Amino acid sequence: MKNVEERIGYTFKNPKLLETALTHSSYANECKKESNERLEFLGDSVLSIIISDYIFRKLKATDEGRLSKYRATLVCEHSLSKVAKRISLNKFIRLGKGEEMTGGRERPSIVSDAFEAVLASIYLDGGIEIARKWVINLMRDSIDDVIMGYGYTDYKTMLQEALQKGDKGKVTYRTVLETGQDHNKTFEVEVLVDNVPQNRGKGHNKKEAEQNAAHIALRNIGKK
């Protein structure tokens, strides 16, 4: 379990919690082990309160309806599986032979459940404050993206996926212009496909400019 602890950035006092958190029911049934289902149940609630508390404090002027929408986007299977895969958590899940053979390691439902189970195990092992810091550290970029509106439509991912279906593939971005005062800057970013410049997008930060550049590129290829 030491490799897993190094990858997720937390050392357990009780490693058995982590072992259980990474045990899918298919493996548990085959090997007579406890599955991560109970931990996933707890982790779902812990995650909800952590994200709710964070965005409630961060977005003081945001109404209940929008806060609920932000939270729902952040805790959905797709969002959590992306975060989990960034730390390679899916590589450490213990799966039964059937699930392994049918691509269970990449299935968002399995990966997101494991993420919630690991969160629950950290909460039980170290307490709510350590669990909160772990989650926010991993999800801060996702939270910022959702607040800016990109949790609903991630044009950069859409562009990459659209191009992978054709002959082209490598998408990169470079900042070509930065104007304005420090408190009110405007960034202009160019999107390149296989190192060939395509178009530019503007925004109040680099992420926004990149998303806008990707959006324009998608429209140009008739995908958005």
Over residues 11-46, the pLDDT tens digits come to: 999 999 999 999 999 999 999 999 999 999 999 999
Number of Cβ within a 10 Å radius of residue 62: 14
pLDDT of residue 66: 84
Lowest mean per-residue pLDDT among 57-66, 145-154, 174-183: 145-154
Respond yes or no: is residue 44 known to be catalytic. Answer: yes
Residue 152 has pLDDT above 60, yes or no: no
Q: SS3 for 186?
A: strand
Q: Tell me which of 40, 99, 113, 116 is the catalytic residue.
A: 116
Q: Which of 44, 100, 144, 154 is catalytic?
A: 44
Whose structure tokens read 């997101």? Answer: 112
Residue 40 annotated as catalytic: no
pLDDT over 90 percentage in the chain: 58
pLDDT at 213: 92
> pLDDT band at residue 165, thresholds of 50, 70 and 90?
low
Q: pTM for the complete prediction?
A: 0.68
What's residue 184's pLDDT?
A: 67
pLDDT over 70 at 223, yes or no: no
